[in-house]
Amino acid sequence: MRRSAASILDELGITDPAEIDVEAIAYYCNAIVKYAQLEACEARIVALGDEAIITVNERSRPERQRFSVGHELGHWVGDRRTGGFFCSVDAIETPRDAYFDPEQRANDFAGDLLMPRYLFEPRAKAGAINVDAADHLAVEFNCSLTATSIRLVQLGGRPAMVTCYDRSRRRWFRRSPGVPEAFWPVRDLQKDSEAFDLLKVRARPGTRSRPSLTPADLWIDRRDAGDYGIIEQSIVVEDGVVLTILWWKDERQIVDYEE
């Protein structure tokens, strides 16, 4: 039977982020979690009748391991008729555009399990929509900054976008529900953006800019974007890869578009 992450958390009576123990939750769902050296994938799940074994890369950081367990549980609870999944680093956590992609569904399940709406949303709405706020929530929920940033943009209740670029291209992005689908982030980083500077000076992972008001045309690919402002905060998440949260604190660009 297919179950949602919310229903499992409800059955377990979880009321605080610190209580979200992924190994215990996996056990509750008849899955055992093991840690091992994996060569070809980041995590996998193998079903044996009504039970499953989840194996996670023992060399990964704890917050990524947690997300991997959540991801594999998503396959197990959502797609359990099939025999097994072998999931790459890229499949886990990286947003995908195909709505029916089983990897995206597994990631959505992991987000719902590790950062459930009823615990995450009140905290997200109480703070700013930027990297600093995402970082605080990432610590509280014991998740990676990338996964938490996506959740903050989804549930923060204000118009925002999270983007990820490397030196040559835009890797992915996500809009909050309030941002029109006609708003696309630029294909290539613009020279005056903080994100561009961080990559240019080859800043180390963890280095971040301060939240700052910048002209929206540095980020949003629309002819009149230069008339508006947007708050940018960027952070290097791995060598040569920068994550940026954009926040329309002043919503004029969106209001004007909708009129």
Q: Which residues bind Zn ion (CB under 5 A)?
A: 85, 87, 91, 103, 106
CB-wise, 86 or 257, nearer to Zn ion?
Answer: 86
CB-wise, 30 or 104, nearer to Zn ion?
Answer: 104
CB-wise, 87 or 218, nearer to Zn ion?
Answer: 87
CA 187 to each of CA 31, 126, 170, 190: distance values in angstroms, whole numbers, following the listed order: 42, 32, 6, 9
CB-wise, 14 or 87, nearer to Zn ion?
Answer: 87
Instruction: Find the shortest distance in angstroms from Cβ 87 to Zn ion.
Output: 3
The Cα–Cα gap between 221 and 219 comes to 7
CA 55 to each of CA 59, 135, 144, 160, 228: distance values in angstroms, whole numbers, following the listed order: 12, 27, 19, 35, 48
CB-wise, 52 or 235, nearer to Zn ion?
Answer: 52
Instruction: Find the shortest distance in angstroms from Cβ 8 to Zn ion.
Output: 18
Ramachandran quadrant class, 30 (left: phi over 0; alpha: psi -120 to 50; beta: rest): left
Contact 138, 13 (CB under 8 A): no
Q: At 171, phi and psi to the nearest 5?
A: -85, -50
Owner of token pair 């995450």: 120
Instruction: Find the shortest distance in angstroms from Cβ 141 to Zn ion.
Output: 21
Instruction: Find the shortest distance in angstroms from Cβ 52 to Zn ion.
Output: 13
Instruction: Find the shortest distance in angstroms from Cβ 99 to Zn ion.
Output: 16
The Cα–Cα gap between 205 and 186 comes to 23
Q: Measured at CB, which residue is nearest to Zn ion?
A: 87
